[in-house]
């Protein structure tokens, strides 16, 4: 649930806030590209791709909506949302996913360095903003619990 459903809901909600139901659908489709391309929960990727999908479908509708002939509205709505969603999912899979994954790895390495150096109170400088960006439970159960278990195994 933390890997697929929560990021998908975040992406849908971000797109829906920007442009209603169509924005939510395109935002959720774009978010699937980020989710599929990573092994970690992609909360930050969903927070980026959801509103981006909603914004782009809004701009495309503003550009083409008055040029659509009567009777072709449903065809235009379905194809424009589908094509844009597929393009954004590919973009998210190849570009946004690796960037967010790299950011997550860099933060994890920084925290691990601080812990190994004995600067445990300073580790909160990286952990607390990450809790806000990646959700508190994802950091606690996905990273800190894993490190605690690994530390116990090593001793």
When divided into structural domains, the chain yields a total of 1
Query: Which of 66, 63, 67, 60 minimizes the C-alpha distance to 85?
Result: 60
Average pLDDT of adjacent 10-residue blocks, the chain of 155 residues: 89 97 97 91 90 98 93 94 98 94 83 83 80 70 69 75
Q: How many CB atoms lie within 10 A of CB 97?
A: 21
Q: HSE on the CB side for 29, CA within 13 Å?
A: 21
Question: Domain limits at 127?
Answer: 5-154
Q: What is the pLDDT of residue 43?
A: 84
Reading the block at residue 15, the tokens are 């797109």
pTM: 0.81
Q: What is the pLDDT of residue 109?
A: 84
Q: What is the pLDDT of residue 11?
A: 96
Helices of type H across the chain = 5-36, 43-64, 73-91, 97-116, 124-134, 136-139, 145-154
Q: What is the pLDDT of residue 134?
A: 65
The angle that helices 43-64 and 73-91 make with each other, rounded to 10 degrees, is 140
Q: What is the pLDDT of residue 56?
A: 98
């Amino acid at each position: 649930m933390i890997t697929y459903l929560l990021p998908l809901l975040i992406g849908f909600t971000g797109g829906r806030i920007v442009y209603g139901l169509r924005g939510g659908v395109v935002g959720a489709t774009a978010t699937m590209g980020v989710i599929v391309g990573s092994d970690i929960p992609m909360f930050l990727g969903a927070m980026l791709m959801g509103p981006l999908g909603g914004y782009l479908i809004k701009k495309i509708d503003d550009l083409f909506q008055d040029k659509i002939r009567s009777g072709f509205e449903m065809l235009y709505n379905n194809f424009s949302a589908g094509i844009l969603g597929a393009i954004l999912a590919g973009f998210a899979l190849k570009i946004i996913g690796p960037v967010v994954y790299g950011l997550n790895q860099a933060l994890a390495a920084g925290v691990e360095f601080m812990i190994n150096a004995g600067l445990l109170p300073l580790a909160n400088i990286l952990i607390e903003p990450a809790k806000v960006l990646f959700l508190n439970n994802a950091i606690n159960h996905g990273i800190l619990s894993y490190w605690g278990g690994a530390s116990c195994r090593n001793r």
